[in-house]
Amino acid sequence: MIGKLNHVAIAVPDLAAATALYRDTLGAKVSAPVPQPAHGVTVVFVELPNTKVELLHPMGEKSPIAGFLEKNPSGGIHHICYEVEDILAARDKLKATGARVLGDGEPKIGAHDKPVLFLHPKDFNGTLVELEQA
C-alpha cells in the first residue's frame, strides 16, 4: 500500500538557523521559506536526490507544531509522510485494522495541495505518520 517516503518533517525553533545548517553545514539544496497559513507553519524544503526533508516552523497562534516545540525546545522529527495511490482506500483498510485516523477521518488538502491524512502515533510505534495521495 505505501509507496515512496515523501518527506521527513523536522520542527525547528529557528528557521533561519536550521536553513543555514542544512544549506551551509550539510551542503544541501534548500528552498526559500514558504508560508503556509492554512497549515500554521512556514516550511523550508530541503531537496535530497531521493526525497525531501521539510523544516517546519510555527506560523500564527494555532500552529499544530507549537506544542511539539514546547516539549522539544531544540526541535525534533515531527512526522514522516508516505505516499499512497488512493487515500480513501488506504484509510478504509487502516480503519478496518483498528488503526486510528486523526481528526474526523476525512482527507484534508495538505501542504502539497494533495489529499492527506494523519495516523495516530500510538498505533505506529510512537511515530506520527502522514499519508499523502501521490
- Site residues (CB under 8 A) for a second copy? 1-5, 8, 10-13, 18, 21, 24-28, 48-51, 53, 55, 72, 74-77, 80, 82, 93-94, 97, 99, 121-127
Instruction: Check if the beta carbon of residue 10 is closer than 8 Å to that of residue 23.
Output: no
Nearer to a second copy by Cβ, of 38 and 85: the residue is 85
Nearer to a second copy by Cβ, of 26 and 109: the residue is 26
- Smallest separation, CB 39 to a second copy (Å): 19
Reading the block at residue 39, the C-alpha cell is: 497549515
Reading the block at residue 105, the C-alpha cell is: 477521518
- Smallest separation, CB 22 to a second copy (Å): 8
Provide the sign of the torsion angle of the four alpha carbons 95, 99, 102, 108, taken in this order: negative
Task: Output phi, psi for 12, to 5 deg.
Answer: -130, 140
Instruction: Check if the beta carbon of residue 44 is closer than 8 Å to that of residue 26.
Output: no
In eight-state DSSP terms, residue 101 is: B
Cα 51 to Cα 2, 13, 38, 59, distances in angstroms: 15, 23, 24, 24
- Smallest separation, CB 12 to a second copy (Å): 5
Q: Which is the catalytic residue, given 47, 70, 106, 130?
A: 130
Reading the block at residue 91, the C-alpha cell is: 484509510
Catalytic-residue membership of 106 = no
Nearer to a second copy by Cβ, of 38 and 92: the residue is 92
- Smallest separation, CB 32 to a second copy (Å): 19
Nearer to a second copy by Cβ, of 60 and 121: the residue is 121
Q: Which residues are catalytic?
A: 130
